[in-house]
Amino acid sequence: MSHQITIQPSGHVLRAQPGETVLEAALREGFPLPYGCRNGACGTCKGKIIQGTVDFGSHNEDALTEIEKRAGMALFCRAVPLSDLVIQCREIGAIKDIKIKTLPCRVHKLERVAPSVMVISLKLPTNERLQFLAGQYIDIFMKNGKRRSFSLANAPHDDELLQLHVRNYSGGTFAEHVFTHMKERDILRFEGPLGTFFLREDSDKPIIFVASGTGFAPVKSILEHAFYVRNLRGSERQMVLYWGNRTKADLYMANLAGSWQQEHDNFTFIPVLSEALPTDNWHGRTGLVHQAVLQDFEDLAGYQVYACGAPAMVEAAHTDFIRLRGLPEDEFFSDAFIASTASTSAPGS
């Protein structure tokens, strides 16, 4: 049996087919809601059930607690309507007209830029292009039918090759394949673009980017897009990037970020190391990357924050920036990279 869903405050009405999640129904009917991992792990799609009941589905307890459930909250990527619903959440208009495609691609280049990071350049078929917003991701289809999600690291205007940053980690089936068996000219299939982590261009607020590890990938896409737009429109929006890693070798594109700082007077790059080695001879910032932001900013009320990387970092930044520094809840945008062996995983895994 299908169920009607009314989205507030917009008043948009749609129908969910039997077994369909709220998010699946909304995307199918052209009403994009915020989402990230789509497997109940990141919490980006969290919203409120005002009327009606749902099957909450399987999810990470950290993303949706029992207390939040009792307060009427749900993860719309997992929640299946059991009745007609009235829900409260914001809609994302910018991705409405972008078509999600399933495409083949060829591995054009493999470049190991750090001991545990590989940059993959993918070539689409002749006369094919992928329209996407800077910061979005794609799902790579594995031979066993599972998916692995990776943010696009290239800007939309520079789309001859799609660039992915893949981190190797224990238990990462696809990542281990990339580092041990993948070779140039291999054929892959993917679906995309996906996700709602992208630059909100309708604001002129200064931006703080907080990235950890390969969370740099979507930030790179967003920044290169912002620099491109600046050249076209003369925007002077101030931006600062805090990029956290363990050691100096993990700052795999520090020279690129440093060159942006030299070329653009509205951009500042601040690398932060948490476990610098004696051989790193590091004289820069140390500690946790989100704490570096707290040290530098007493008030974030007039800022936007884009945080991407390890879930612990994203959650700590979200909590502390809002609670301690007055960042408005709706000015925090995030994409948590969740290492997973599940059928669907968050970007970067």
Strand partners, 50: none
φ/ψ of 234, rounded to 5, equals 75, 25
Q: What is the pLDDT of residue 343?
A: 39
Domains of the chain (ranges; CATH) run 3-91 (3.10.20.30), 99-194 (2.40.30.10), 207-336 (3.40.50.80)
How many whole angstroms separate alpha carbon 171 and alpha carbon 173? 6
Q: What are phi and psi of 30, to 5 degrees?
A: 85, 25
What is the identity of the amino acid at 338? I
The reported pLDDT for the residue numbered 14 is 93
CB-based contacts of 290, cutoff 8 Å, min separation 6: 210, 242, 244, 307, 313, 316, 317, 320, 321
Relative to beta strand 187-194, strand 137-141 is: antiparallel
95 CB-near residues (< 8 Å, 6+ apart): 32, 133, 136, 193, 196, 198
Per the rule left: phi > 0, alpha: psi between -120 and 50, beta: everything else, 102 is: beta
User: Which mean pLDDT values do the consecutive 10-residue runs of the chain (349 residues) have?
Assistant: 93 93 88 83 90 94 91 95 94 81 97 96 91 94 91 94 94 90 97 93 93 97 91 79 97 98 96 97 97 98 96 94 96 80 48
In this prediction, residue 344 carries a pLDDT of: 41
